[in-house]
Amino acid sequence: MKKKNIQKLEKLAELQNQIIRITRKIYKRDIQLFKEIFALLLKIVDTAKTKWGGNREDKFLDSYLILTNKIISDLQGCYLLWERGLYGTAFAIVAVMLRSQRMLAALHFKPSLAERYLNEERNDFFLDKNFQKIFSERNLQKIIDAQFGENGRTDLEKSLHGSAWGSRKYYGKIYRDEKGLKSAELTFAPFFEPEKSAGIIKIIQASCLDIVGIYLEKYQRDKNVITYEEEYKRLLRETTGCSQIKP
């Protein structure tokens, strides 16, 4: 490799290290909170694996383990990108993760779908129109909205394709011009931006708690689950700032 290219890589590595130091200093408490929530999720997964024990009769539990395996990987990848200032790719992973979370929530609220979910064949999503309809993002969202009411939609999905607007917003560094209007600077390198940084860490905290919450609600009568409820509520209070959540 040419010396010039090596120097460029060294500068890039130093830039990322600077962003990591800044991020860890500013978001010290948020990072600690995320690590506590993530540790609780791992405890829940261990409990779920013990409960499962190779028995595939509980279709939802089987589905939960499949999806949390994916979500845990997404959470870790998103965190590593976030602290290095690679926000666009981190947001793209968030969008993918929220799809998995949507699927999990829909299976929780409509357990009858779990068996069909587990029995998916390789080409079902492409060739089986009924399967496409049942597990479309729109239908999954309808199932969730039926429980909580309709929520405002986000434009995170635009981070997944070549949308000009989405590419500017999620991959560009946002600043305000002379008129006070938001604009995006194309940096072609990692950068630190408080708005994006704060948004991502809050999203992954909340997503992690949601996955824990789904399991606790589904298996709330299990003795092993009861032991985690107090810790879950404490983390929920600290994350949301809502003191009305009772211990």
State residue 182's pLDDT score: 84
11 falls within a domain: yes
- Cβ-in-10-Å burial (0-12, 13-18, 19+) of 167 comes to middle
247 falls within a domain: no
- Cβ-in-10-Å burial (0-12, 13-18, 19+) of 27 comes to buried
Give CA–CA dist 103/117, Å, rounded. Answer: 10
Structural domains counted in the chain: 1
Angle, CA 34 vertex, CA 236 and CA 170 arms, to 5°: 105
pLDDT at 79 over 70: yes
Bridge partner list, 174: 184
3-state helix, strand, coil in the chain (%, to 5): 75, 5, 25
Give CA–CA dist 41/35, Å, rounded. Answer: 10
Give CA–CA dist 144/105, Å, rounded. Answer: 7
69 falls within a domain: yes
10 falls within a domain: yes
Is residue 217 very low, low, confident or very high in pLDDT (cuts 50, 70, 90)? very high
Give CA–CA dist 210/215, Å, rounded. Answer: 9
Q: Which domain holds residue 148?
A: 3-240
Is residue 182 within a helix (H) or strand (E), and if so which, with residue range? strand 182-185
Of 74-88, 141-155, 202-216, the range with the lowest mean pLDDT is: 141-155
pLDDT at 240 over 80: yes
Q: What would the pLDDT profile of 85-106 be if each residue is shown by its tens digit? A: 999 999 999 999 999 999 999 9
Is residue 113 within a helix (H) or strand (E), and if so which, with residue range? none
Is residue 245 very low, low, confident or very high in pLDDT (cuts 50, 70, 90)? low
103 falls within a domain: yes
Q: Which of 66-70, 114-118, 240-244 has the highest mean pLDDT?
A: 66-70
246 falls within a domain: no
Is residue 166 very low, low, confident or very high in pLDDT (cuts 50, 70, 90)? confident
pLDDT at 247 over 60: no
245 falls within a domain: no
State residue 209's pLDDT score: 96
Q: What would the pLDDT profile of 122-134 be if each residue is shown by its tens digit? A: 888 888 888 899 9
Residue type, 130: N
74 falls within a domain: yes
- In three-state secondary structure terms, 56 is coil
